[in-house]
């Protein structure tokens, strides 16, 4: 069973705040704080998580199931920039209830992802924790174009986990990620990681008709690593080979029939 609601309540108590005081300081209503702490909210909005972060709460510890209590960090650590947060409420079996950003919602993701209202309108899917590869935040995003074919097709759903800003430099080259930037919006690409050397990511498509381009670190809002793919497409990746083999079998059959016809003709001619 997930203990996120319990940790949220524990954080508030450790901060010596009542629900009313937490609501006033964070800009939410008291009933919202109550819903977060009872696990009745579909999502815990970014603004509330950022409030906890500013109060010294280590947000990673909230999602780490091995931590019984949330950890508090130093003022220096709190001052570091934090990645925007999307939080969902696990169910009683410990599964993860993850928002689905379909093609319509993807169009307004950049302007809406930091608001509670945006996520309240989304459909959700319940996933076992291993599909998100450990603790942390999850999101399902629908591919909206053909830039990653023949790996990812338009309409496919990508199960993603959020990569914290401090871990961006550790991403391996050719990892498939959803990169959210001011300049390019939401992009599903393979990355070449040049953050430490040049302060940028080079984003490339599997569909070579789409050119590669660079995005700089200060332009990036979020990076989500794609960990699983939900698809209705069942491409025959050896289609050309199968077609050639089928043509060869047809030719062999035709030659065999021709041979039998010629053999029979020679036998008939010899009998005369």
Q: How many Å from the N-terminal Cα to the C-terminal Cα in the chain?
A: 91
- CATH class, 83-235 region: mainly beta
Task: Quickly list H helices, the chain.
Answer: 4-14, 19-26, 30-38, 46-54, 59-63, 75-78, 103-106, 109-112, 116-120, 195-198, 239-271
pLDDT in tens, 61-91: 777 667 778 888 655 444 444 444 455 555 5
Burial bucket for residue 174 (CB in 10 Å: 0-12, 13-18, 19+): exposed
pLDDT higher than threshold 50 for residue 184: yes
pLDDT in tens, 98-155: 889 988 888 888 877 777 678 778 888 888 777 776 656 788 999 988 999 889 999 9
Per-residue pLDDT, averaged over 166-191, amounts to 92
Q: Does domain 1-82 have CATH number 3.40.640.10?
A: no
pLDDT higher than threshold 80 for residue 96: no
Q: How far apart are CA 43 and CA 66, in angstroms?
A: 21
Q: What pLDDT does residue 83 have?
A: 42
| CB-based contact 99:89 (threshold 8 Å) | no
- Neighbouring CB atoms inside 10 A of 36's CB total 25
| CB-based contact 85:52 (threshold 8 Å) | no
The percentage of residues in the chain with a pLDDT greater than 70, rounded to a whole number, is 84
- The model's confidence at residue 236, banded by pLDDT at 50, 70 and 90, is low
pTM: 0.59
Q: Which residues contact 158 (CB under 8 A, 6 or more apart)?
A: 140, 141, 142, 143, 152, 178, 188, 226, 228, 229, 230
| CB-based contact 42:32 (threshold 8 Å) | no
Q: Which of 160, 178, 22 is nearest to 88 (CA)?
A: 160
| CB-based contact 85:59 (threshold 8 Å) | yes
Q: How far apart are CA 52 and CA 33, in angstroms?
A: 12
Q: How far apart are CA 259 and CA 102, in angstroms?
A: 59
């Amino acid at each position: 069973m997930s203990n996120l609601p319990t940790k949220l309540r524990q954080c508030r108590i450790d901060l010596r705040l009542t629900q009313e005081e937490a609501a006033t300081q964070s800009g939410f209503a008291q009933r919202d704080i109550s819903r977060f702490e009872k696990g009745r909210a579909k999502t815990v909005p970014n603004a509330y998580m950022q409030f906890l972060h500013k109060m010294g709460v280590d947000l990673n510890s909230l999602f780490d199931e091995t931590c019984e209590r949330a950890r508090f960090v130093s003022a220096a650590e709190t001052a570091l920039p934090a990645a925007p947060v999307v939080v969902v409420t696990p169910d009683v079996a410990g599964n993860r209830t993850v928002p689905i950003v379909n093609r319509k919602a993807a169009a307004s993701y950049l302007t809406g992802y930091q608001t509670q209202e945006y996520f309240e309108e989304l459909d959700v899917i319940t996933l076992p924790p291993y599909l998100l590869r450990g603790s942390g935040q999850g999101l399902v995003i629908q591919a909206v174009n053909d830039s990653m074919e023949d790996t990812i097709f338009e309409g496919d759903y990508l199960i993603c986990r959020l990569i914290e800003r401090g871990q961006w430099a550790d991403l391996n080259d050719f990892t498939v990620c959803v990169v959210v930037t001011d300049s390019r919006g939401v992009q599903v690409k393979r990355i070449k990681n040049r953050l430490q050397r040049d302060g940028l990511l080079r984003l490339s498509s599997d569909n070579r008709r789409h050119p590669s381009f660079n995005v700089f670190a200060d332009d990036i809002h979020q990076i989500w690593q794609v960990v699983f793919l939900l698809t209705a497409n069942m491409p025959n990746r050896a289609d050309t080979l199968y077609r050639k083999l089928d043509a060869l079998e047809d030719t062999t059959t035709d030659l065999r029939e021709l041979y039998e016809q010629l053999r029979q003709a020679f036998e008939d001619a010899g009998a005369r």
